[in-house]
Structure formats: C-alpha cells, structure tokens
Chain A
Amino acid sequence: MLTPLVKERPHLTTLASPPAVPKTAGRMRLRTRWTGWGFVGPFMAVFALVFLAPIAYSLWLSLFQTQLVGGTTFVGLDNYARVLADPQFWDGTGRVALFLLVQVPVMLGISLLVALAIDSGRLYGRDFFRLAIFLPYAVPGVVAALMWGFMYGERFGLVGNFNDLFGTSIPDPLSSALVLPAIGNIVTWEFVGYNMLIFYSALRVVPTSLYEAAEIDGAGPWRVITAIKLPAIRGALVVATIFSIIGSFQLFNEPSILQPLSPNYISTHYTPNLYAYSLSFSGQQYNYSATVAIVMGVLTMIVAYVVQLRGMRKEA
C-alpha cells in the first residue's frame, strides 16, 4: 500500500559504473587497498585501543585468580563456573531483568505518547514541551540521582516536607519494597525525553502526503497512528528498545549514588555492574570482577540480539 507513494530513486549505479581496471595495474590495485585502510585506520586504531584492548584484557584477567596471600595463579575457566553458581550475581541479574520488564515498557510508552502528541501538531507550545521533556536528559545522571536522593528523604527531604504539610504518610521511597520503583522513576524521568526525540525524529521523516491520502480515505487520527505512524517508526522502536535493554542491564549510577542513603536496601550486589564494582574496588577481586562483567556483557548481547531479530522479522 505504501510503495506506490514512495518516489522512485534514480538508478545511480547505472550512471557511476566502476572504472575498468587494467589487468596489468597490480601495484595500482595494491595502493588502492592501502588507501582504504588509510581512511579507516584512525578509527580502527582508536577502536582497537579503547574497545578491543579492554575486552581482551578482561578476558585475560578472567582466567586468573589473585589472592592477597599467595599471589596470582592461572585458574582456567574456574571464575566462569563460579559466576554461574553465584547467588549474589543472579540476585542482581534477576533484579535488573525485573527492572527491564517493568520500567522499559513504561518509559517507552510515555515517550511514544509524548512523541505522538508533539507530532500531532495540535499541541500548543510544541517546542517548549519538546525541550522541557528533553531537558532531564541534559542533566548528568549522577546529578539527577543526587537530586532525587534529596527529594526522596522521608525525614527532611521533599517527601518529608510533603508529609508534614499535608499530614499524609507517603512511605519512605528508599525503603525495601520501594527502592527499585524509586530508581525506575529516576531512570524514566531521565530518559523519556531522549527516547521521545528518537521517536519524534522518526515521525518527522514520514511524508505528509501519506497523511493526506489517509484523510482522503477517511481514516481517523487513531487509524493514522496504528496504520501509518507506528509501522513507519518500527525501526526506531526497535533501536530504542535495544538501547533501553542495554541501559537496564548496565544499571549502576542511580543505585550507586543512592546507596549511601539506603545502604541496607541497596546491597553491594544490587545490580551486576554494582557487584562488579564492589568486587574490584572494595574486594580487590579484579579477576572475578572481570568475569562478572564479561558474563553480563554476553547476557546483554544475547537478549539485545533476540529482541533485534524479533523486531526486524516483523518489519520484513
């Protein structure tokens, strides 16, 4: 249904046919190859230094065990076996999985709603809303967590003031049952604007002629959303979902900042990243910590890949 409306692209390939390479110019071909490397070289160098090297080093570290007494020994895959049987690791992983299942749909739902509202053109002060909702993303995560930490204070924070003023008894957001939703709230606040912007820019790309055609066909606003807008931004939805999955599994800033305020509820293994951090920075277990990070990275990749496969298959 969409295809007839999309403009045919000129066939550039026929215009720019590859120049014929003389058979004898072997040296020339060699130089051409090296020219390509010259362009990607700087990127590859940085990529190797800041991406591949740390991964390789972590893999290397994960094969050893360093003890305070006894030094370093090669232990093969023992660390991996230990991670897979570590209840503290799975406790943290379970928590971020729960976080993922609840927080990500809520956040993306709100983002989508806001993006559609702004895109509808019926919103007064559209640019103001767009900016205001995006603004929290510009606040550094650490600052945001600190700020919310102050507001969550039951005794002297905003929650406490609210309770005092209105005689309500809102429970302490940093107590056991509520601390995960409290973190979810911070993350949602931070990233709704970011995801909204992804959706909004995807929506802007949809040609307005489609809407006109739909209107002529008698489609209402809801029909336009479900039949045109959502299918058109499916790619953006998948991308935002994958980003959010990675973000959830890497949850660290918020629990780490709130930990001093709620040390008994945010344990040292609250999220896998926090666990890896505690292991290396207070336990000096760099090897085990590297293993935790690698296992978590692989888990994240698997989940993100599955989501991508599903998302792309539907698109096809």
Chain B
Amino acid sequence: MKGTRILALALAAMLVITLVPALAEEAPVKISVAGYMFGPVDNDNDVITPLVEQMLKEKHGINVDIEVVYIEQANYSEILNTRLAGGTAPDVFLAQSATTLNTYYDQGVIKTWSKEFFQENAPDVYSFIENGAAYGDLAGDVEAWWKAALRDGEMVVIPSFKPDGSMPYKTLIYRGDWLDKLGVTEETLPKTVDDFVALMTRFAKEDPDGNGQDDTFGCSLTAMKALFGSYGLGIGFSGSSSYWVNKDGVIVSADVTDEAKEVIGILAKMYADGLIDPEFVAGKESVEGSYWAISHGMVTGLYGVSANASIDHYRLKEVLGDDGGRCAQEYWAVNGADSTFVYGPWPAGPKGDYGWEVGTPVAVSESAVYNADMSDEKLALIFKILNAFATDEELYMTAFAGIEGTHYEKNENGTIKRLMGNEELNAVGVWGCRSLYGADRAFSQLGYDLAFYNDVTIANRLNWFKKDQYNSYIQDAVTETLPSNDLFAELNTLRDETWTAMIRGEKPLDDWDAYVQAWLAAGGQTLTDEANEWYAGN
C-alpha cells in the first residue's frame, strides 16, 4: 500500500513540475546556423542577432533563440562532416556544392520536405520564385530552380537564384603600358586567334616594357585557356574538371575533342616560338596565399594579358567612387597610380566561336540545408523566418547590413556602403543569420535590388559585355554532378600532364590519339556514358 501512495505522490509531483513551465512564458526555440562567414561572431559584442530575434518575436510572433556557429570556410566540409558524425552539427548549414549536397542527401543527414510544406510555410518566397524572381527576369529558369531543389520529388535545398548567374564572369585584361608601347589601341585589340597570336609575338619579342631585356612573354595560363573558347570549348585545364560539349546530340568531354587538339597545337607552336613562359604551370598566375583573382605574372609585367579575374576585380575608381577593384588596386600599387589596363574582347576562332565559360542562374553552393535531426515543426519555423526576411525590409536590412549609420549608409543609387570591414561586421553579428534569409540575399525585391539591379558594378559589367566579343556564352552541356564524378581526379591529372608535355614539346601532338584512348580507358568512357544518359533523361 505504501508503495502505491509514493507512486501516486510522485505522479502528482511530475504533473505539477511539467505544468509550471507551461504556465510561464514559452521558451524560445533554439536554432543554430552555420552560414558563410568571414570570421567568428563576438558574442559579447553581437548587437545584431538579439535585434533580429526581438524583431522576429515582436513583429512576426516567432520566438527563437538563434545561435550563430562559426565554421571556418577553408575547412568547412571537414569540420562539418566531423560534427555530423558526432551529432553536434548545427541545424542549418551550407550545401557547399552539388556534389556534397548529393552526398548529404544519399547519407540521409539532411532533411527533406514537400513542395506543399514549403509553400504553406514560406508562401511569399514560394511565389517570388514561381514568378521568376524580381521583375520576373528569371521566369525562364524557374524549372531549373525546381530541378536543383528537388531530389526524388522532395525538396532538399533552397537554391540561390541569381540574375547575374549566366553573365560572363572572367575577362581578358591587357597591360595598358605594353599596348601603348606597341601602338595597340582598344579598337585594334585582337579579335581573331591569328591576331591574338601575332600580338603575343609582339609582347614577347618587341620589348614592350622597354627595359632592353628579353624578359617578357605573351600570355598567362588563363589567357591561354581563352583560346579553347575560340574553338567553342569550355576547359578545365589546368586543375579542374572540364566542360562537356554537345556535338549533334552526343555529349563529349571537351578534353578529348579534335578542337582541343588544335588549340594544343597552337599553344605548342607559341611555346616553341618563346611566347609562353616555360614555367606557365608553376603558379605565376594565382600565387598560393594571396588573393585568387590576382594574376601576379601579369601585374608584375611578365605577361601582357591574363583572364584570371572579372571586370569588377579591375573596376575603375570612378565606377563606385571607391578605391577601385581588388586587383586594380594591386595593379596600381605595383605599376604606379597612373598605370592603365584594358579589358579585351575574346579572340574568335575559325568558326567564329569565342568566349569563356558562363554559369547558370541557379546554384546551391551557398544555399542552406537542414539537419535531418530536426523536427518538422522546427523546419516550419525556419521557413516562416525565411518568409519574414522576404517580406520585412527592416528585418532584412538589420540582418544583412546592420544598423544604419553605424554599420552601413544608404547611397543615392539605392545601394549601401558598409562602414566596417567584413570581419568586424561579422563580429557584431551582421550576416550571422545569412543562411536563414537565403543564400546571401533575401528572396525579395529589396534583396535583389540591393544585390543586383541597383549595383553599379554589375551594371558596369553588363555595359562592357554588351559589346561584341566581350560577351560570352560557353556553357557546360551537363549541369549535374555525374555519379562517377570522382574519376575526374585521375583524368584531370592525365590531361594536365599530357597537355603540358605537348605544349612544351616534350611529347608530339601525334600522340593525341593514344592520349584519348588512355583517357577513355581511365574512366572517361564511364563518365561519357553517364553524361549521355543524363542528357537523354533531360
């Protein structure tokens, strides 16, 4: 009998204990976010995250406790994978790439949900996407967006949707002083491969730096790669996986096309004539440890032209009224404040092809995915937050830019000027909620105006690219990661070694067929089959 009484007492006590907190205010739901960050958030000085929480609670009735988790960008996947295995991963993290996204999906570590669930909890974001984003500019790409978001009929990610995604990115940048010395003007810059090679010859032979020594070369590695565009190919040489091209309905890798062989032939001839630096692969383009877009060989006057950066990296001071693009600053620092550079057109090949790789408006690399461990209620809450960011300008501006006057100022042209460095802004909480409002901008008119339409640098880029042969169109025929993607590692090494040897004259061009056979045997055939299978299914 005594035992029963104790049990009854205990049960009653439990009832009281569980009831008491329910009477008090409901505790906020904890959401941890690890987005793209420049540095850790300084919890003692984080003014933005509490403000965002307060606004969400007061204006939208969403009671959350946001924990911003800093994961170093350089080792993001390594750290995240360890935490996923250990069960300590944050609720919201980055997909990083289509490949990692697929891996996460296959391993079941990320949450999936239905289209209806998304529409129900984030109705404004849903219709924004369905309507082709801001101004309906991307109406033609809505299908591609859904394709990227869905796996087996369920959504796994909210991809980013960028109007500038299919805009050509990199461009040829020539040294202005060399062109002046040789009497070449922007109008007379080479527009064909032959003219391009001729100018490279003059760069190498006519002492364009005027120091009386034979110490100059024609073009850098990235500018050499531009020649593949002249033959209609996007190319991964050296280092990355190559582009697929559609040849009359059959998908082939650009790495084993006859056109690639022709380009290698041209490059080998240029090399033999002394137009190419013997150490072209040794990293005088991007130097390890310094900013990736800087072509050190071009900036320091070893090469006359490179294609390692975008026009925005070489933005002129008057465009934004700032110090100029990141690479332009470097160029002026090394060559003098009055030194010049010239944006160049892509040289056209025999069939009139020219250009450089362009991307797609849909990407997942900066997009958020959600920990499979979370409940559906929590995911619904996260989508409600996503929707709040898309509809509430004040809330979005706080999370994206901080407090006006302290962290940013509004420019007349509708853009903003940040008043601190990225790392300092991150420390006070700006961008901490990045993965909660979208990839790096909200899915709203305001977000898109700020990021694209009011942005002078993008307008500046578009202006240049309106000119003939400054624009580009070369796109990968396969936009999905292939199942045997890992095979590329070996294939890329084979390609890079063979091509480098052929350019340097260490291997005859006649070995091309043997190279193609070796490439197919080493996994190229498997990948080609998969690429065609993918193409047939689309």
Instruction: Please say whether chains A and B are actual partners in one complex.
Output: no
B residues contacting A by CB (< 8 A) are none
A residues contacting B by CB (< 8 A) are none
